[in-house]
Amino acid sequence: MGNWPGHVFPGVGFLLMGLWQLYNHIKLHCQRPKTYKPPVWFPAPKVRRLELYLILFCSFTQITTELFVGPSHHQPLDPDDWTIPPGHLKNFEHATICLSIFIYAAFALRFDKVPARSGQTVTLLAGAAAFAVEFLMFYLHSTDHAGLEGQYHRLLLAVITALLVTTLMGIGYPCSFAVGFTRSVCLVLQGVWFNMVGIMLYAPWFTPKGCHLQTGDGTLIVPCDDHASLHRAKALVNLQFAWSLAAVVVFSAWLYLRMSQKYPEVPEHEFLGKEEGQQADVFVLESPKKNRSADNKSESIFP
């Protein structure tokens, strides 16, 4: 991840996943504000488990890239004694983050195929564990994120912490729109910030005044000439984060206002829910003319 593609590509994935979650949380709450209880993941209109399939595919691709494409000679281990070389430790750390996300998606997929009474709780715990691993790997990173890089990653840790907390709160407050909405907003913010790190830190034309982009120990670093230059660069990073947060909040609030107009509240008696305990939350809507029949065909909430 020590370059712009290593941050931008995962950032785009987190951003798209966050937007998908945000859209569905808002839509579900607009239609069912009184009985709002979102799933951990949302089914897609045509390919129902598309969200989980994409997470599995992207995680596996990133693991393969970190272990076999990024390392020198495409070999993650030292061929002499089969140990992990010091320069490849960061690749294993990044791959471990992706593995934890892969495990979350695999369990979510399994619980959807074999419904369990506490499947959603266990899936949320797996998601929280993935964010915890991400936090630990970045906090205890083998690469010394000092100076300007450290400021970017410290702010990233703040976003990951918010994701971890809101995911755990989803277990105790499964019907809270504030929890689901905040978690989705934080996921969008993480995607935005990953892109900011990849572009603003590792693109040479955005390097702050008094700092220089150079290669050190196989990774890109941005040292600064003196303390004043470093202090100014860190202040610029803080401004970038504040502006990114403000932009995400404004967009999320605007999206909620627009969707509340497009998707008005639907009377509860028109909804037919699936059996309690199932992971799949495809809420169905009865036809107004046939809502008294028990054999009516149902439609997904997705148009």
Give the tens place of pLDDT for each residue, 50-75: 999 999 999 999 999 988 887 666 77
Which tops the pLDDT comparison, 215 or 21? Answer: 21
226 domain-assigned: yes
283 domain-assigned: no
Rounded to an integer, the average pLDDT of 278-303 is 38
Whether 98 contacts 66, CB under 8 Å: yes
Which tops the pLDDT comparison, 287 or 135? Answer: 135
Query: What pLDDT was estimated at residue 287?
Result: 36
Tokens of 275: 């059996």
233 domain-assigned: yes
Query: What pLDDT was estimated at residue 218?
Result: 63
Which tops the pLDDT comparison, 118 or 285? Answer: 118
* Domain carrying residue 152: 4-265
Rounded to an integer, the average pLDDT of 263-278 is 59
Averaging pLDDT over each range in 40-54, 63-77, 197-211, 255-269, which range is the top one?
40-54
Query: What pLDDT was estimated at residue 275?
Result: 37
Would the CA dihedral through 218, 238, 226, 141 be positive or negative? negative
Query: What pLDDT was estimated at residue 76?
Result: 79
Task: For residue 59, give the amino acid letter.
Answer: S
Which tops the pLDDT comparison, 95 or 145? Answer: 95
Q: Within 32-141, where are the H helices?
A: 50-64, 89-113, 119-139
The per-residue pLDDT of the chain, averaged, comes to 84
Tokens of 77: 């281990």
**Residues 291/296/301/303 CA torsion (nearest 10 deg):** -110
pLDDT band of 16, cuts 50, 70, 90: very high
Would the CA dihedral through 260, 285, 169, 7 be positive or negative? negative
Rounded to an integer, the average pLDDT of 82-109 is 91
pTM of the full structure: 0.84
In the predicted model, is pLDDT for residue 196 greater than 60? yes
Give the tens place of pLDDT for each residue, 32-56: 998 999 999 999 988 999 999 999 9
pLDDT band of 264, cuts 50, 70, 90: confident
C-alpha span between 95 and 99 (Å, rounded): 6
Query: What pLDDT was estimated at residue 143?
Result: 74
Which tops the pLDDT comparison, 42 or 201? Answer: 42
Tokens of 134: 């991400």
pLDDT band of 2, cuts 50, 70, 90: low
284 domain-assigned: no
Give the tens place of pLDDT for each residue, 156-188: 999 999 999 999 999 999 999 999 999 999 999
Query: What pLDDT was estimated at residue 293?
Result: 40
215 domain-assigned: yes
Query: What pLDDT was estimated at residue 262?
Result: 92
Rounded to an integer, the average pLDDT of 208-237 is 86
C-alpha span between 39 and 246 (Å, rounded): 27
Lowest mean pLDDT among 93-97, 246-250, 270-274: 270-274
Query: What pLDDT was estimated at residue 40?
Result: 94
C-alpha span between 295 and 15 (Å, rounded): 40
At 176 the three-state DSSP class reads coil
Cα–Cα distance list, 91 to 69, 97, 271 (Å)? 10, 10, 48
Domain count, the chain: 1
C-alpha span between 207 and 104 (Å, rounded): 36
Task: For residue 184, give the amino acid letter.
Answer: S
279 domain-assigned: no
Give bridge partners of residue 39 from the DSSP assignment: none
Residue from 193, 199, 222, 196 nearest 209 by CA: 222
